[in-house]
Amino acid sequence: MTARERFPFVMPRIFDPNDLVAMPRLDANGALELGASLIACARAETRLPSFILHGLEEFVTEHRNLEHILEERLGPPPPDGYRARRADILEDSHWAALHDWLLAWTRLPISFPEAFSARRLFENLFPEGLTFTQLPYKLEWQEAEERLRRIERDGLENEIAKLGGTTFLRALREAHQAYSEALGMGGFKPAPPRYEIPKRKSLEATCASMRRYVLRALGHADEAEPETTALAERLLRPLHEWNARPIPTGNTVMPPRA
C-alpha cells in the first residue's frame, strides 16, 4: 500500500521551482542577446560544477539553433568580411551617437518639453539600450532597419529635428545604407509566414533551456559556502541587468517553464 493510499487525507505537496525564478519576456533577438551574455559569463569561469555545466550545454545548443534559424532567414554571411566589419563599426558608432545625444536630453528636468520628447524617443528607439548592436551582422541590421522604419512610420523624424538631431539622423541613414550594401541586404524582404513556426518553436526551446540553466545556477548557491553564491552572482549578472531594463513592446514571449 502506498503512502497516499494509507493517508488519503494528506494533501500532496505542490512545489514548482520555476515559480521562484522571474524570467523576462523575450523576442527572438532578445533571447539571443541575453543568452549570449549568460553564455559568455559561464565561459569566463575556469571551472564549473558538472551540475551547472550540464544545463549550460543544453542551453548553448538551443541558443545556437535559434541563431542559425534567424541567420538562415537573412541569407548567407557577406562575402567581404573586412568591408562588413568596417560598415558594422560605423553603424554602431552612429547608433551610439544618437543614443548618447538623446540620453543627454533626458537628463534635463521633465518640466522642459524637450526633455519629455527626448524620453519618449529614447524609450521608443532604445528600450534595451545599445545591446542590439552586439548581435551578428545581419541580425543587427534587421534591428537597425526596424528602428529606422519606425522613425518614418511613426513620424519621429519631426521630433528628432525639433531637438536639433537632423545631422545625427542623416549620418545614421548614410551609415545604414553602407551597412546594407556591405551585407548585400538591398533586396531584403519580410519573412514568409511559414518561417514563423520554426522560429517560435526554437525561441520557446531556447527560453526553456535558459530557465533550466538559471535554476541550476541558483540551485548550486549555498549561503553556507560563499564561493558558490559568488559564482551564481557572476553567472547570472546579465539576467539581473536585463530585468532592470524597461520591458520592450512587440512580439515577445515569457520563457516557458522547464
Residue-wise burial string across 87-104, b where 16 or more C-beta atoms lie within 10 A, e elsewhere = bbebbbebbebbbebbee
24: how many CB neighbours lie within 10 A of its CB? 19
CA proximity to 64, closest of 209, 197, 191: 209
What 8-state DSSP symbol labels residue 4? H
Point out the least confidently predicted range of 11-25, 58-72, 102-116: 11-25
pLDDT, residue 73, reads: 65
CB 136, CB 71: distance < 8 Å: yes
Burial group, residue 111, by CB count within 10 angstroms (0-12, 13-18, 19+)? exposed
Q: In this predicted model, what pLDDT tens digit does every residue of 96-133 receive, in sequence order?
A: 999 999 999 999 998 888 999 999 999 999 988 888 88
pLDDT at 11: 43
Residue 211: pLDDT band (50, 70, 90) is very high
Global pTM reads 0.55
Partners of residue 26 on adjacent β-strands: 253
Distance CA 131, CA 86 (A): 19
pLDDT tens figures, 166-182: 999 999 999 999 998 88
Give me the amino acid identity at 7. F
Per-residue cell: 35: 543568452
- Amino acid letter at 84? A
Amino acid 224: pLDDT? 81
Residue linked to cell 541558443: 63
